[in-house]
Amino acid sequence: MKRGIGALGSIVPTLVGVWVGMGWMMAQSLGIQSAVELRLPTEEGRVHRWEVSRDLVTWKPVETGILGDGRPLTRWRQVTGMGPEYFRMSTDEPLDLAALLEPIRVARKVPALAAVVMQSNRVVAMGAVGVRRTGTDVAVTLGDRWHHGSLTKSMTATLAAILVQEGRLTWQSTVGGVLGDAVPGMHADWRGVTLDQLLRHRGGAPDQAYLTSRGYWAQMWDHKGTPEQQRLYCLRSVTTNAPQVSPGTSYVYSNAGYVFAGMMLEKVMGKAWEDLMVERLFAPLGMETAGFGVPARPRFLDQPWGHRWTGGLPSAVFPGNDADNPSGLGPAGTVHCSLLDLGKYAMFHAREGRGEEDPLVTPESFEALHIPKAGETYAYGWGQAQRVWAGGRVHSHTGSNVQWYSNLWVAPMKDGAIIAITNIGDNTGSVAAQTTDEVVGKLVGYLK
Q: What is the pLDDT of residue 63?
A: 84
pLDDT at 320: 83
Instruction: Supply the DSSP symbol for 312.
Output: T
Task: Give the separation between CA 162 and CA 290, rounded to whole angstroms.
Answer: 19
* Model pLDDT, residue 17: 28
Q: Which of 371, 429, 419 is nearest to 148 (CA)?
A: 419
Whether the Cβ atoms of residue 140 and residue 131 lie closer than 8 Å to each other: yes
> For residue 156, which of 40, 51, 14, 257 has the smallest C-alpha distance?
257
Determine contact, residues 280/159, Cβ cutoff 8 Å: yes
pLDDT tens sequence for the chain (448 residues): 333 333 333 333 322 222 223 333 333 333 445 667 888 888 888 888 888 877 666 788 888 888 888 888 888 777 665 666 777 888 888 999 999 999 999 999 999 999 999 998 889 999 999 999 999 999 999 999 999 999 999 999 999 999 999 999 999 999 999 999 999 999 999 999 999 999 999 999 999 999 888 888 888 878 888 999 999 999 999 999 999 999 999 999 999 999 999 999 999 999 999 999 999 999 999 999 999 999 998 888 999 999 999 999 999 999 987 789 899 999 999 999 999 999 999 999 998 756 666 788 999 999 999 999 999 999 999 999 999 999 999 999 999 999 999 999 999 999 999 999 999 999 888 999 999 999 999 999 999 9
At residue 70, the pLDDT reads: 87
User: What is the sign of the dihedral through the CA atoms of 140, 143, 145 and 150?
Assistant: positive
Distance CA 148, CA 353 (A): 24
- Domain borders along the chain are 2-91, 95-448
d(CA 267, CA 329) in angstroms, rounded, equals 16
CATH architecture assigned to 95-448: 3-Layer(aba) Sandwich (3.40)
| Distance separating alpha carbons of residues 310 and 247, to the nearest angstrom | 39
**Please, are residues 165 and 361 in contact by the beta-carbon 8 Å criterion?**
yes
Q: Where are the alpha helices (DSSP H) in 139-207?
A: 152-165, 175-179, 188-191, 195-199
How many C-beta atoms lie closer than 10 Å to residue 223's C-beta?
Answer: 18
pTM: 0.87
pLDDT of residue 135: 96
The dihedral formed by the CA atoms of 73, 77, 83 and 89, expressed in degrees to the nearest 10: -20
